[in-house]
Amino acid sequence: MSMIKVENLTFSYPTSYDVIFDNVSFQIDTDWKLGFVGRNGRGKTTFLNLLLGNYEYSGKIISSVQFDYFPYPVSDEKKQTEELLREVCPLAEEWELLKEFSYLDVDADVLWRSFETLSKGEQTKVLLAALFLNEGHFLLIDEPTNHLDTDARKKVAEYLKKKKGFILVSHDRRFLDECVDHILSINRTNIEVQMGNFSSWMVNFERKQESELLQKERLKKDIHRLQKSAKRSETWSNRVEASKIGAADKGYVGHKSAKMMKRSKTIEKRRQKAIEEKSKLLKNAETADVLKMKPLMYHTNTLVSFSEVEVMYEGRTICSPMTFDIQSGDRVFIEGKNGSGKSSLLKLLMGNFIEHTGKVTVGSGLVISYVPQDTSYLTGFLEDFSEKNGLDESLFKAVLRKLDFDRIQFEKDMKEFSGGQKKKVLIAKSLCEQAHLYVWDEPLNFIDVYSRLQIEKLIEEFSPTMLFVEHDLAFRDAIATKIIKI
């Protein structure tokens, strides 16, 4: 057990005016299981890179442990997994790897397959297992759930719960609750550490915000009252001072005037102190403006029908026959393991060529708004993206502002955006589109918790017809009306 100490950390990127960290100080124990939470673009991945020594900074980071990073940069995916993992954990024995695999429900034979043949979920699991075999290292885990289906998330959470010594960046509330014992929160003005899981941290954070809000309202009233009182005392003092002219006892009147002026200055000092106290409050308040959307009404109840649809890959069926309808007001979630054809069903609905049997019937004139899983193609500036997609630029940027985009982001190329910010661009586009059906493929990948809650409230209020692939169980439980399991 040792400590990682951060003292007066200050950092900004050389190409940007944004100050990411400003004089930040805190310390953490290397035995803790830390969940790292905060808004998109606040600097979570940047902080991990600072721990790794990848950037120059002001201040100090003091640590006696070596840091490892996930996702591990794989040099050659064509290598056999065993050979690749020897690079990751050179001191680990084969039996130790197989033991870790068993905890994660990974078949032993993946060790002797080329890494590129493993599913994304299997790749995530084997790399995590190997990294945890580096004894004495402290692991920095950045968004591991994005390639994990629901069952795999549960298994990885169980695995992490048995480990210690890591920082985990994730926005999946259930996942964090199941495997961390401390929360590291990156706020608007500082970084804080708190014992407990995500839910307990969220309750405490909201209570603190409510308490500060009440205190701020009280101080506002006090400042107003003191301002009036100080002005009244000053007026009285000036009147008394004016009455000295022609007064029989100028000494008494002068003493009275000085006393009133002193009282006025005392009240003014109290007012200034209250203003200072008020300025310290709610600096870390997280606001989530109300989002809006305008779904279109369809002329019949049934929008889409899947009848005995089987997705195929290279002539091989990868899912059982799927039969279901999407009706007005439905919010349909498709669940299944990675590689079971979930995204393929969505692409099939969107008119992409996907090898399949069965029939997909799309209602005449149906307008669909689509959020794809992939964001890698997003480059260029927001105004160009808006024009290309026929969006109202002012509305589009207004939605992004409500999703916590700073105005300075509007001046950047999208290739500089974080993963969460890119996903928000696609969601904002969809919210600007009037459609009968909204088809979203893993929309919450990289999206921060506050925005997830914001989107939940939006969907509950406007009740659009939607088809999802999404593995966030808290989100699914909040809004799903129908669950289709592959």
CA nearest to 346, candidates 450, 470, 453, 232: 470
The structure tokens listed for 273 are 């102190």
Give residue 273's pLDDT.
73
Give residue 236's pLDDT.
63
Cβ atoms of residues 275 and 223 within 8 Å: yes
- For tokens 């701020």, the residue is 216
- For tokens 């004089």, the residue is 23
Give residue 251's pLDDT.
58
Distance of alpha carbon 370 from the chain centroid: 21
CA nearest to 185, candidates 422, 449, 407: 449
What DSSP letter does each residue of 315-358 carry, written as one string?
TEE-S--EEEEEETT-EEEEE--TTSSHHHHHHHHTT----EEE
Cβ atoms of residues 232 and 241 within 8 Å: no
- Condensed to tens digits (0 to 9), the pLDDT of residues 439-461 reads 999 999 889 888 999 999 999 99
* Stretch (H or E) spanning 45: helix 44-51
- The C-alpha atoms of residue 370 and residue 353 are separated, in whole angstroms, by 16
pLDDT lower than 70: segments of the chain: 1, 16-17, 219, 223, 230-261, 264, 271, 274-288
Cβ atoms of residues 67 and 140 within 8 Å: yes
Give residue 208's pLDDT.
83
The pTM for the full model equals 0.77
CATH number of 302-485: 3.40.50.300
- The C-alpha atoms of residue 483 and residue 332 are separated, in whole angstroms, by 6
Domain 3-198 class, CATH top level: alpha beta
- The C-alpha atoms of residue 405 and residue 424 are separated, in whole angstroms, by 9
Strand duo 437-441 + 368-371: pairing: parallel
DSSP state of 187: -
248-253-255-258 Cα dihedral, nearest 10 degrees: -150
CB atoms within 10 A of CB 232: 14
What φ, ψ does residue 171 adopt, rounded to 5°?
A: -115, 5
What DSSP letter does each residue of 60-122 carry, written as one string?
EEE-SSEEEEES---S-TTSBHHHHHHHH-TT--HHHHHHHHHHTT--GGGGGSBGGGS-HHH
Give residue 165's pLDDT.
94
For residue 27, the number of C-alpha atoms closer than 13 Å in the C-beta half-sphere is 10
The residues, ordered by sequence, that sit 6+ positions from 265 with a Cβ below 8 Å of its Cβ are: none
Encoded amino acid at 265, one letter: K
Distance of alpha carbon 380 from the chain centroid: 23
Cβ atoms of residues 80 and 115 within 8 Å: yes
- The C-alpha atoms of residue 6 and residue 215 are separated, in whole angstroms, by 31
The residues, ordered by sequence, that sit 6+ positions from 276 with a Cβ below 8 Å of its Cβ are: none
